[in-house]
């Protein structure tokens, strides 16, 4: 539906802009409003006008920065760079790399690179373009990377481990996970990923 | 905020009503509409009238079945029975028990016993009564059950494993996880839980 981008084979794009994505300028307010809109509403109901109003800017400024609705969706729904960065390690060190990368990303940018796809499950009634993107850019990329048997199932469970880590850190903002170092979290959590990777 | 219920020590309540909770009668339509409302809106903005409209019933029918808003919230937001059932196994078999119980529950009732708390993260601006409930009834109950060091952190990560499993199964409704038996999923996923349980 959105075209199959060959994420697994793509060169590693840098995930990190030099400025946190959710603070400051009108551009960032637009991105935040767009992310909310596309995760909480069916695609057909999302309008540039409503996103602009939520961001406190004019519709023309939204179009100037991001183009029309389809382009804006493509910007907001792009899991490709995050997937490339999460997968950028040798197989025997990939579990730990994924945990440290995810936790560090969350702390640096005050935002989770994958978790927004889960919010889209609140719209129970319809197919979701955001979910299609996740399947293509994350699950399929994980599957392509795994050796051995049951690769699709193991990739889905790996995606679950990444989403679950983000979910629990977001749910327990004042909890033990917030105080722990990425390395300590990886000590406890990365073996689960590594076992699914190694098969 | 909602009172600390001693879930961990409570007798095991049956999770399973004899009828799936999200099909059929007006009662079930009300529960579904209420679950959506309380996860997607701030508590203060939820009204019985809106829930009734979404469920296609009268406001007085909602009150007849579930009482006023606070009672209805307590019904919808109760993770206690699910937590009790998930924890109902000896420590050395708890990881596998939790995975099989969660997957079986999801398949039996076409619904996840925990995952709705994650949808509430879409409301980024405010404290959430649903999250408070989850902390009390799930995370604290897990913490109380664990032996050894770093119990709070391990309990948060365990909660993440449970939420991540539900999230990925919901995200990949036509995927490999949907075709796999609960036992096969447990073979792959339960060691992650068991390692965090045993410490």
Which residues of B fall within a CB distance of 8 Å from A186?
none
Domain ranges of chain B: 27-76, 80-198
How much is the mean pLDDT over chain B? 85
- B36 — pLDDT class (breaks 50, 70, 90): confident
How much is the mean pLDDT over chain A? 85
Cβ within 8 Å of residue A69, ≥6 positions away: A46, A47, A48
Give me the architecture of the B80-198 domain, per CATH.
Answer: Orthogonal Bundle (1.10)
Rounded to the nearest 10°, the torsion over CA B95, B87, B18, B76 is -110
Give me the architecture of the B27-76 domain, per CATH.
Answer: Orthogonal Bundle (1.10)
Q: Round to the nearest angstrom and report the end-to-end CA distance of chain A.
A: 31
Which residues of A fall within a CB distance of 8 Å from B168?
156-157, 159-160, 163
Q: Determine contact, residues A172/B121, Cβ cutoff 8 Å.
A: no
Above 70 in pLDDT, residue B13?
no
Supply the ipTM of this predicted assembly: 0.80
Answer whether A27-76 and A80-198 agree in fold. no
Length of chain A in terms of residues written: 199
Above 70 in pLDDT, residue B53?
yes
pLDDT in tens, A29-84: 998 899 888 877 778 888 999 999 999 999 999 999 999 998 998 888 899 999 99
pLDDT in tens, B130-164: 888 999 999 999 999 999 999 999 999 999 999 99
Cβ separation A168–B168 shorter than 8 A: no
Measured CA to CA, the distance from residue B196 to residue B157 in angstroms comes to 8
pLDDT in tens, A71-127: 998 888 899 999 999 999 999 999 999 999 999 999 998 889 999 888 777 665 456
Predicted local distance difference test score (pLDDT) of residue A124: 54
CA dist list (Å): B157 to A23, A45, A161, A167, A177? 28, 36, 10, 10, 8
| A-B C-beta contacts closer than 8 Å | 149
Cβ separation B153–A189 shorter than 8 A: no
């Amino acid at each position: 539906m959105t075209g199959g981008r060959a994420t697994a084979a793509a060169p590693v794009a840098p995930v990190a802009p030099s400025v946190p994505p959710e603070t400051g300028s009108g551009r960032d307010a637009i991105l935040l409003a767009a992310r909310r809109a596309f995760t909480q509403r069916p695609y057909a109901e999302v309008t540039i006008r409503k996103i602009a109003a939520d961001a406190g800017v004019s519709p023309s400024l939204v179009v100037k920065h991001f183009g029309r609705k389809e382009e804006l969706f493509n910007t907001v729904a792009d899991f490709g760079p995050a997937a490339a960065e999460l997968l950028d390690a040798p197989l025997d060190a990939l579990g730990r790399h994924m945990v440290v990368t995810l936790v560090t990303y969350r702390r640096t940018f005050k935002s989770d690179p994958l978790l927004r796809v889960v919010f889209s499950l609140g719209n129970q009634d319809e197919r979701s373009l955001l979910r299609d993107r996740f399947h293509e850019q994350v699950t399929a990329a994980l599957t392509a990377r795994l050796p051995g048997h049951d690769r699709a199932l193991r990739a889905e469970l790996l995606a679950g481990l990444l989403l679950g880590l983000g979910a629990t850190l977001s749910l327990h903002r004042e909890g033990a996970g917030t105080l722990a170092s990425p390395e300590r979290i990886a000590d406890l959590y990365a073996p689960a990923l590594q076992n699914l990777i190694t098969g």
